[in-house]
Structure 1
Amino acid sequence: MNEFIELIKYLILGIVQGFTEILPISSSGHLVLFQHILNLKQPGLVFEMFTNTASFLALFIFFSKDIIHLIKQTWSFVIKGDKEAKNDFFYVLKLIVAIIPIGIVGLLIKDHLDGFKTPLFVGLALLLTGSFLFYIYKNRNENNLNEEITFKNALVIGLIQVAAVFPGISRSGSTIIGGLFQKVSLKSLLKFSFLCYIIISVPTSLLSAIELSNATFEINILGYGLAFLSTFVATYFAAYLLMKKIEVRHLKYFAIYCFTIGLVAISSHLFF
Structure 2
Amino acid sequence: MFIDWIKFIILGIVQGITEILPISSSGHLVLFQYLFDLKQPGLAFEMFTNMASLIAMVVLFYKDIWHLIKQTFMFLLKKDQSAKKDFEYVLKLAIAVIPIGILGFILKDWVGSIKSLWFVGLALMLTGTLLLLIYRSRNQTETHDEVTYKDALTIGLTQAVAIFPGVSRSGSTIIGGLTQKLSLKSLLKFSFLCYIIVSIPASLLSIYDLTQVTESIDLIGYGLAFITTLLVTYITGYYVMKRLQIKHLLYFGIYCLTVGLVAVLSFILI
TM interval, shorter chain, is over 0.9
Q: Given that residues 30 and 40 in structure 2 are in contact (C-alpha distance below 8 angstroms), is that contact kept between their aligned partners in structure 1?
A: no
Residue matched to 1:49: 47
SS at match of 2:261: helix
Tell me the alpha carbon deviations over residues 167-197 of structure 1, each in whole angstroms, 9 at most, x when there is no partner. Answer: 0000110100001001001111111110001
Alpha-carbon shift at residue 39 of structure 1 (Å) = 3.0
Equivalent positions of 1:142-153 (< 5 A) are: 142-153=140-151
When residues 133 and 42 of structure 1 are mapped into structure 2, their CA distance, relative to the original with a 3 A threshold, is closer
Work out the CA distance in 2 between the residues paired with 1:57 and 1:190.
Answer: 17
Equivalent positions of 1:161-180 (< 5 A) are: 161-180=159-178
Work out the CA distance in 2 between the residues paired with 1:175 and 1:129.
Answer: 11
Residue matched to 1:250: 248
Scaled by the length of structure 2, the TM-score of the pair is: 0.97
Tell me the alpha carbon deviations over residues 88-128 of structure 1, each in whole angstroms, 9 at most, x when there is no partner. Answer: 01101111110000000000011111332011110100000
- Counterpart of 1:199 (choices 197, 200, 204) is 197
Letter in 2 for 1:166: F
Equivalent positions of 1:121-270 (< 5 A) are: 121-270=119-268
Which stretch shifts more, 36-45 or 22-31?
36-45
Q: Given that residues 76 and 82 in structure 1 are in contact (C-alpha distance below 8 angstroms), is that contact kept between their aligned partners in structure 2?
A: yes
Q: Given that residues 127 and 256 in structure 2 are in contact (C-alpha distance below 8 angstroms), is that contact kept between their aligned partners in structure 1?
A: yes
SS at match of 2:31: helix
Residue matched to 1:25: 23
Alpha-carbon shift at residue 211 of structure 1 (Å) = 1.4
Count residues in correspondence: 270
Runs of 5+ consecutive residues of structure 1 not aligned to the other structure: none
Work out the CA distance in 1 between the residues paired with 2:133 and 2:87.
Answer: 34
Tell me the alpha carbon deviations over residues 115-151 of structure 1, each in whole angstroms, 9 at most, x when there is no partner. Answer: 3201111010000000000011111111120101111
Letter in 1 for 2:131: L
SS at match of 1:219: coil
Alpha-carbon shift at residue 49 of structure 1 (Å) = 0.8
Alpha-carbon shift at residue 46 of structure 1 (Å) = 1.3
Scaled by the length of structure 1, the TM-score of the pair is: 0.97
Work out the CA distance in 2 between the residues paired with 1:114 and 1:69.
Answer: 36
Q: Given that residues 9 and 38 in structure 1 are in contact (C-alpha distance below 8 angstroms), is that contact kept between their aligned partners in structure 2?
A: no
Work out the CA distance in 2 between the residues paired with 1:184 and 1:149.
Answer: 7
Q: Given that residues 105 and 162 in structure 1 are in contact (C-alpha distance below 8 angstroms), is that contact kept between their aligned partners in structure 2?
A: yes
Work out the CA distance in 2 between the residues paired with 1:176 and 1:221.
Answer: 36
Letter in 1 for 2:16: G
Work out the CA distance in 2 between the residues paired with 1:83 and 1:203.
Answer: 30
Work out the CA distance in 2 between the residues paired with 1:243 and 1:42.
Answer: 29
When residues 229 and 85 of structure 1 are mapped into structure 2, their CA distance, relative to the original with a 3 A threshold, is same
Letter in 1 for 2:154: V
Alpha-carbon shift at residue 42 of structure 1 (Å) = 5.2
- Counterpart of 2:96 (choices 78, 95, 98) is 98
Work out the CA distance in 2 between the residues paired with 1:175 and 1:68.
Answer: 23
